[in-house]
């Protein structure tokens, strides 16, 4: 009872501290403290001051100074959703060269005095890692606190533009610290191996050469890295910052560390093969990164592999509604698969790991395994990021380049492909797509409303309709309720009462020409619209259009005698199992005919320059169908007198094809009954 009262007395903040923060700190810090206390007792004469002295990282500040002082040209990162363009100083390559040259000069200097860097305490890797584990964790906690109390900008958390005293945190942790320490570690381990074995071990030389060349390539290309998801989208937190401060120096360098004590000779043939294949992989990886960058720099106006590059000019919107355009390359390596360049990245890694042989050791291949998972996962993350950003343009790109990483292997799921929805959709999206409405209809609504009433009105309508999609993709499926919800929201806000927008939108994309092919006269249109819908199934297999039947027809016009009005009977096909559609019709009986009326009216005016007078004569629910009977009054000059008025609505679920019809349609067949 007392405990319950005590709990009630706790505010939510106290509860959060007691139940989350303190347990988390205990889990994070106590196990490590035990190790540090052991270390201080055994290696620091029990002195905590000496422990602190050993754990102080003296290299970090020097790298910060280099980053700040070394000049470099200004380069720009990817524009953030709020329209901010991050600015960087491209001095990574210069900083790297200075660091490595200083290391080389220091090594020579020490050698002359009978020492090597590996003999100095600062190169004791155990101390270094122990210090980095603790410092990086403290640094991440500091970032968390700063993020809450004093965020850098409104973009904080998205742009990668985390500044502390003018230093971009992610550029520092990833490029200037993590990768520089990786390069230094590879060099130190190679030296250590030389010291221990008194010779250059061929495997160690190959792995060191490949890793150092890879890192040199990275720094040469560093400005390109500012446009990757690590910098564009990832937050400066545990994954990126602790990862680069601690995980990269320890885990990424494992192969070299392993080789120091297990020097497997690989022999000249393997040395040449691994070095050759590794260098080729490095070149292809760099080449494909370069192709992407070059295509963007040239705004798609370049030749790739001797041909004009194929690009998609993808539009996207910033948060303030401003439109932007970007180039998506679909040539060269970027036509083979999406992120094909991960394959050479992995094969290079395999080459520098395989120098350790196949002696049943797992450690040298752990980085390769980790990277495979990371890159596979990354390709999905990037797909999602680009789909969210570019919408239908990304779908177009995925159609041009359907494979992910491994060409011909990574087909999109069959269910999605069969329905011809954009490739690259993930399963969650596919689930949403099932039995829904194509985006082209919604695009029409958006296009009309935005152009007629403005972007703000469209935003308001979306809000009223509870529509979470800022844009629509032509061939993606959406919930069928959405069209009616948008239409109703638009009606309440703008007084819009009919569906004229769709036809205007079709005309914009040239579909009006297809409609015109149906005949010269409006009556041809009414007679042919069902056939056209059938034809559309080739491109939009899940389309569920209404059926139009001309029930009665008469001529109009002075030269043809008194006007007798043709009647068009419209049956909106709503099969029973598509109950959502049926519901929407029942929810809003007045709206659907209004929508259709607007379409009929606009078609007559836009395509046939005819003013149509439309009356809704009857509406009813007939089993699976909603039935609307319209009377259309217009100048039906083309009517010549023949027309069958017989019509029948057939429920596809219960319809049995008479065998005579079947045999006439399919003269060659093999009939099997259920028991074969
Ligand atoms: N060793 C390691 O741990 C790792 C190494 N790497 C390596 O780093 C390098 C870069 O990483 P990577 O993963 O490619 O970078 P990203 O996947 O982060 O870059 C993808 C970005 O490039 C743009 N983009 C995507 N497709 C196209 C296209 N067809 N045409 C033009 N632009 C496109 C998009 O950004 P936008 O918004 O500008 O359109 C997209 O978000 C690679 O060499 C990779 O192998 C990568 C991960 C881990
Ligand atoms: C906490 C850990 C389990 C995971 C940490 C992962 C990060 C350290 C790494 C995630 C993405 C990595 C990188 C991306 C791209 C790069 C370009 C390449 O040319 C050099 C390496 C790197 C900068 C690389 C570095 C480690 C990651 C940030």
The DSSP result for 100-142, as a single string, is HHHHHHHHHHHHHTT--GGGSGGG-HHHHHHHHHHHHHHHHHH
Q: State whether the beta carbon of 247 lies less than 6 angstroms from ligand 2.
A: yes
Structure tokens at 277: 């294949």
- Rounded mean pLDDT, 439-454: 79
Q: Give the residue among 488, 519, 487 at the shortest CA–CA distance from 502.
A: 487
The torsion angles phi and psi of 89, rounded to 5 degrees, stand at -100, 120
CATH number for the domain running over 501-555+568-575+591-639: 3.90.1520.10
Q: What's the sign of the alpha-carbon dihedral 170, 173, 178, 183?
A: positive
Q: State whether the beta carbon of 139 lies less than 6 angstroms from ligand 2.
A: no
Task: Please give the order of strands across the beta sheet that includes 625-633.
Answer: 547-552, 567-573, 625-633, 613-622
Q: With bands split at pLDDT 50, 70 and 90, how would you rate the model's confidence at 228? A: very high
Q: With bands split at pLDDT 50, 70 and 90, how would you rate the model's confidence at 266? A: confident
Atom of ligand 2 nearest to the CA of 214: 19
Pocket (CB within 6 angstroms of ligand 1):
78, 227-229, 285, 289, 292, 326, 328-329, 334, 341-342, 345, 371, 374-375, 378, 382, 385-386, 389
Q: How far is the CA of 240 from the centre of ligand 2 (A)?
A: 7
Integer Cα distance of 300 and 314 in angstroms: 11
Q: With bands split at pLDDT 50, 70 and 90, how would you rate the model's confidence at 15? A: confident
To test the ligand 1 pocket, which listed residue (228, 293, 312, 333) has its Cβ within 8 A of the most ligand atoms? 228
| Residue 288 pLDDT greater than 90, yes or no | yes
Q: Give the residue among 568, 629, 572 at the shortest CA–CA distance from 603.
A: 568
Integer Cα distance of 204 and 201 in angstroms: 5
DSSP 8-state class, residue 411: P
| Residue 595 pLDDT greater than 80, yes or no | no
628: three-class secondary structure by DSSP = strand
Q: State whether the beta carbon of 86 lies less than 6 angstroms from ligand 2.
A: no
To test the ligand 2 pocket, which listed residue (239, 288, 367) has its Cβ within 8 A of the most ligand atoms? 239
Give pLDDT, residue 211: 98
Integer Cα distance of 73 and 89 in angstroms: 6
Give pLDDT, residue 532: 80
Kindly report the protein residue whose alpha carbon is nearest to atom 27 of ligand 1: 328
Q: Hey, where are the domains in the chain?
A: 9-265, 266-412, 435-496, 501-555+568-575+591-639
Q: How far is CA 276 from CA 281, 348, 543, in A?
A: 9, 10, 54
Pick the ligand that lies closest to the CA of residue 249. 2
To test the ligand 1 pocket, which listed residue (173, 253, 292) has its Cβ within 8 A of the most ligand atoms? 292
Give pLDDT, residue 484: 73
| Residue 282 pLDDT greater than 80, yes or no | yes
């Amino acid at each position: 009872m007392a405990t319950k009262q005590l709990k009630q007395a706790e505010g939510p903040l106290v509860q959060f501290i007691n139940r989350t923060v303190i347990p988390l700190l205990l889990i994070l810090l106590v196990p490590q403290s035990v190790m540090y206390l052991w270390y201080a007792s055994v290696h620091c004469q029990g002195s905590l001051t000496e422990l602190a002295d050993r754990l102080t990282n003296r290299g970090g500040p020097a790298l910060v100074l280099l980053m700040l002082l070394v000049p470099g040209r200004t380069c720009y990162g990817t524009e953030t959703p709020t329209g901010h363009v991050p600015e960087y100083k491209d001095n990574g390559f210069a900083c790297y060269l200075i660091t490595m040259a200083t290391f080389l000069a220091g090594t020579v200097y020490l050698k002359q005095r009978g020492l090597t860097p590996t003999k100095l305490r600062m190169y004791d890797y155990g101390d270094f890692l122990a210090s980095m584990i603790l410092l990086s964790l403290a640094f991440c906690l500091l970032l968390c606190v700063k993020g809450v109390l004093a965020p850098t900008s409104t973009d904080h958390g998205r742009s990668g533009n985390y500044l502390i005293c003018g230093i971009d945190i992610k550029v520092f942790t990833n490029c200037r610290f993590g990768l520089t320490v990786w390069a230094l570690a590879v060099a130190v381990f190679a030296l250590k191996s030389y010291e221990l074995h008194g010779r250059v071990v061929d495997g160690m030389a190959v792995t060191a050469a490949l890793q150092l060349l890879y890192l040199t390539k990275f720094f040469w290309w560093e400005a390109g890295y500012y446009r990757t998801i690590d910098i564009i989208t990832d937050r400066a937190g545990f994954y990126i910052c602790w990862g680069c401060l601690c995980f990269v120096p320890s885990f990424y360098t494992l192969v070299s560390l392993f080789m120091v004590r297990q020097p497997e000779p690989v022999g000249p043939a393997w040395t040449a093969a691994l070095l050759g294949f590794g260098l080729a992989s490095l070149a292809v990886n760099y080449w494909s990164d370069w192709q992407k960058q070059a295509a963007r720099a040239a705004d798609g106006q370049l030749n790739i592999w001797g041909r004009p590059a194929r690009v998609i000019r993808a539009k996207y919107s910033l948060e303030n509604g401003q439109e932007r355009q970007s180039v998506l390359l679909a040539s060269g390596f970027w036509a083979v698969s999406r992120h094909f360049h991960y394959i050479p990245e992995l094969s290079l890694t395999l080459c520098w790991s395989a120098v350790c042989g196949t002696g049943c050791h797992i450690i040298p291949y752990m980085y390769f395994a980790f990277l495979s998972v990371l890159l596979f996962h990354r390709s999905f993350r990037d797909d999602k990021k680009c789909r969210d950003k570019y919408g239908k343009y990304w779908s177009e790109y995925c159609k041009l380049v359907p494979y992910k990483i491994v060409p011909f292997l990574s087909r999109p799921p069959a269910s999605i492909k069969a329905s011809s929805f954009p490739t690259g959709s993930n399963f969650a999206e596919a689930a949403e797509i099932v039995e829904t409405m194509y985006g082209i209809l919604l695009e029409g609504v958006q296009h009309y409303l935005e152009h007629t009433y403005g972007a703000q009105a469209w935003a308001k309508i979306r809000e009223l309709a509870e529509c979470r999609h800022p844009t629509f993709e032509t061939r993606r499926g959406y919930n069928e309720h959405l069209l009616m919800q948008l239409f109703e929201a638009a009606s309440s806000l703008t007084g819009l009462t009919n569906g004229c927008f769709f036809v205007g939108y079709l005309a914009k994309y040239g579909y009006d020409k297809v409609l015109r092919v149906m005949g010269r006269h409006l009556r041809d249109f009414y007679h042919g619209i069902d056939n056209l819908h059938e034809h559309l199934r080739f491109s939009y297999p899940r389309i569920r259009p209404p059926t139009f039947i001309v029930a009665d027809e008469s001529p109009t016009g002075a030269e043809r005698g008194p006007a007798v009005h043709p009647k068009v009977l419209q049956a909106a096909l709503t099969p029973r199992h598509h109950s959502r559609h049926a519901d929407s019709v029942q929810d809003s009986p007045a709206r659907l005919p209004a929508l259709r009326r607007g379409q009929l009216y606009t078609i007559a005016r836009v395509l046939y320059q005819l003013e149509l007078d439309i009356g809704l004569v009857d509406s009813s629910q007939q089993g699976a169908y909603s039935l609307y009977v319209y009377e259309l009054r217009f100048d039906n000059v083309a009517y010549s007198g023949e027309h069958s008025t017989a019509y029948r609505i057939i429920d596809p679920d219960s319809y049995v094809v008479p065998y005579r019809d079947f045999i006439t349609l399919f003269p060659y067949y093999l009939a099997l009954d259920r028991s074969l």
